[in-house]
Structure 1
Amino acid sequence: MLCSLCGTRPVDSADARCAVCAGAADAAPADFGRGRARAGSTGVTPNGPRLDQLRSPVGLAKAVCVLLGAVAVADVLSIAAGVHSRMLLAEGLDDGFLSVSDDELTLADNLTGAAASLQAFTLLATGIVFLVWFRRVRRNAEVFDAYAHSMRPGWAIGAWFVPIGNLWLPFRVASGIWTASAPIGTPGGRPAAPRGTLNAWWAVLVVDQIVSRGAGRYYARAESGDAMVRGLDMLAVGDALDIGAAVLAILFVRRLTAMQSRRADLGPVPAVPHPLQTG
């Protein structure tokens, strides 16, 4: 059974709260406003991580947002190239046979290939910087609340490279980071940190990955003009979803970074025994 307040940790009290939420609720209100003072002059909780281990994610977050914007621009160019190719093919279809000149097809293919190369480059650059940012906010979240996570810090990077598992494992990591970074003015932090941005970003990202991969395979196998037109339509849908995922990712990165910036002023949650460490 999970805690009735945070919904992420196992129950460890008679009133259906976990150890962390019970400790936060029982602490004096003034203590929450003196997060660093509770930890002592060295900024350390008993047997816990040090506050000086925190590293600002702000600079990385700005870089990620800029690169995500570049990804969206590359997607727009890809849609434009795809529309050009589609119009060319659709107008040239005559009873199922293509009547388009080789020069026009070559130009369309070159535009599509250039757009695809730009997409690949921006995605690679964005992915690298995003992983660095994601690892940093995960390490900060370990300082804020070590009990909010169901996976070890190394999974902040490793989860993205697990075949099939990367459709949900990174979300589990992000969920723990979100919980640990939530304000602690309210025990558990859940009411103070709605997950709409996190959930929407991940849902669109998963749909985007499925549609884009399917569209790419379909287009690569297309042999007839009709099949190529359908493949280009599917690729355009995938690019549109990719733009939506990029926009939601920017909102997610900005929101989580702002949460951690505010959370850093409060220090770790009150040190309480973890249920797995008792007995």
Structure 2
Amino acid sequence: MLCSLCGARPASTADGRCAMCTGFHREGERVRPVPVPAGLYHLRSPVALGRVVCVLLGSVAVADALSIASGVHARLLLGDRTEDGYATVDDLTWTHAEALYQSTGALQGLTLLATAVVFLIWLRRVRRNAEVFDPGAHSMRPGWAIGAWFVPIGNLWLPYRVVRDVRTASELPGTPGGRSAFPGVLLHAWWVALVAAQLFGRYASRRYEAAETLDEITDALDLVAFSDVLDIVAAVLAVLLVRGLTAMQGERATLGPLAVG
């Protein structure tokens, strides 16, 4: 049975509360820091990394917007057709438009790669901090903060579990969700948007690569543009995630490891 107060950890008392929440609600007792053996207490600030991740996520959104703009430009060029259905755009103009579209796609790839690397470094740090805050809140070992993203099929939900557990461990004890800097509904929305953007983006890219006729190309351009919109939504929600979890850990770190006494 889970704790009746936080709903995240196993209940350990007769009234259905976990050990951590019980420590914050015993009347007449004080909460004090626990002396931690050397080498075990390694909280590290995620603030600087979080700021870099947010800037990089912004660059991802900008690259997506440029891709949408270049795609719309290419689509408009193909929209002007003769009565026989042939595009009126000349070869040189189309070659330049296609080169621009491919360039924005390359920019998307570069910004995404840089963002992914720094995001994983940030996630590894907040996961380790969360291990200090509440070791019992995690369903997966710390190494999964990075490894979960590289498991085929499993990467559709394992990284979400890692982030969810980090959020749970980073909450102020006794106030689960209510005063969180990153509400659970936003966590769910971020993950849905991220998975949708990745899956739909792959589908749209395949459609574009396989397109041969004018109609197939214009349809594929529309699909890629929609996947870029999903990617922008996921990037915005990721910024909220990074800022929220970073702020939560800043608050939680002021308490340190706690005990009742």
- Of residues 81-90 and 11-20 in structure 1, the stretch that sits farther from structure 2 once superposed is 11-20
Which TM-score applies when normalising by structure 1?
0.85
Report matched runs for 1:96-245 at 5 Å: 96-184=85-173, 186=174, 189-193=176-180, 194-245=183-234
Residue deviations 1:210-236 (CA, integer Å, cap 9, x gap): 221111111111111111111101111
Report matched runs for 1:1-150 at 5 Å: 1-26=1-26, 30-31=30-31, 34=32, 38-40=33-35, 44=36, 50-51=40-41, 53-92=42-81, 94-150=83-139
Q: Secondary structure at the match of 2:6?
A: coil
Q: CA deviation at 1:84?
A: 0.6
CA separation in 2, counterparts of 1:94 and 1:247? 43
Which of 239, 246, 249 pairs up with 1:257?
246
What one-letter code is carried by the residue in structure 1 that aligns with 2:7? G
CA separation in 1, counterparts of 2:230 and 2:80? 27
Unaligned runs of 5+ in 2: none
Using a 3 Å threshold, how does the CA distance of structure 1 residues 211 and 58 change in structure 2: closer, same or farther?
Answer: same
What one-letter code is carried by the residue in structure 2 that aligns with 1:21? C
Using a 3 Å threshold, how does the CA distance of structure 1 residues 156 and 198 change in structure 2: closer, same or farther?
Answer: same
CA separation in 2, counterparts of 1:118 and 1:29? 57
CA separation in 2, counterparts of 1:28 and 1:61? 39
CA separation in 1, counterparts of 2:143 and 2:112? 22
Kept in 2, the 8 Å contact 1:49–1:143? The answer is no
1:270 aligns with 2:259: yes
Q: Secondary structure at the match of 2:190?
A: helix
Q: Secondary structure at the match of 1:8?
A: coil
Kept in 2, the 8 Å contact 1:61–1:133? The answer is yes
Which TM-score applies when normalising by structure 2?
0.91
Kept in 1, the 8 Å contact 2:34–2:258? The answer is no
Using a 3 Å threshold, how does the CA distance of structure 1 residues 197 and 58 change in structure 2: closer, same or farther?
Answer: same
**CA RMSD between the two structures:** 2.1
CA separation in 1, counterparts of 2:139 and 2:82? 55
Residue deviations 1:13-45 (CA, integer Å, cap 9, x gap): 3323233333443375641xx4xxx313xxx17
Aligned residues: 258
Kept in 1, the 8 Å contact 2:9–2:137? The answer is yes
Using a 3 Å threshold, how does the CA distance of structure 1 residues 221 and 27 change in structure 2: closer, same or farther?
Answer: farther
Using a 3 Å threshold, how does the CA distance of structure 1 residues 101 and 200 change in structure 2: closer, same or farther?
Answer: same
Q: CA deviation at 1:75?
A: 0.7
Kept in 2, the 8 Å contact 1:9–1:18? The answer is yes
What one-letter code is carried by the residue in structure 1 that aligns with 2:190? W
Q: CA deviation at 1:6?
A: 2.1
CA separation in 2, counterparts of 1:135 and 1:207? 24
CA separation in 2, counterparts of 1:65 and 1:215? 26
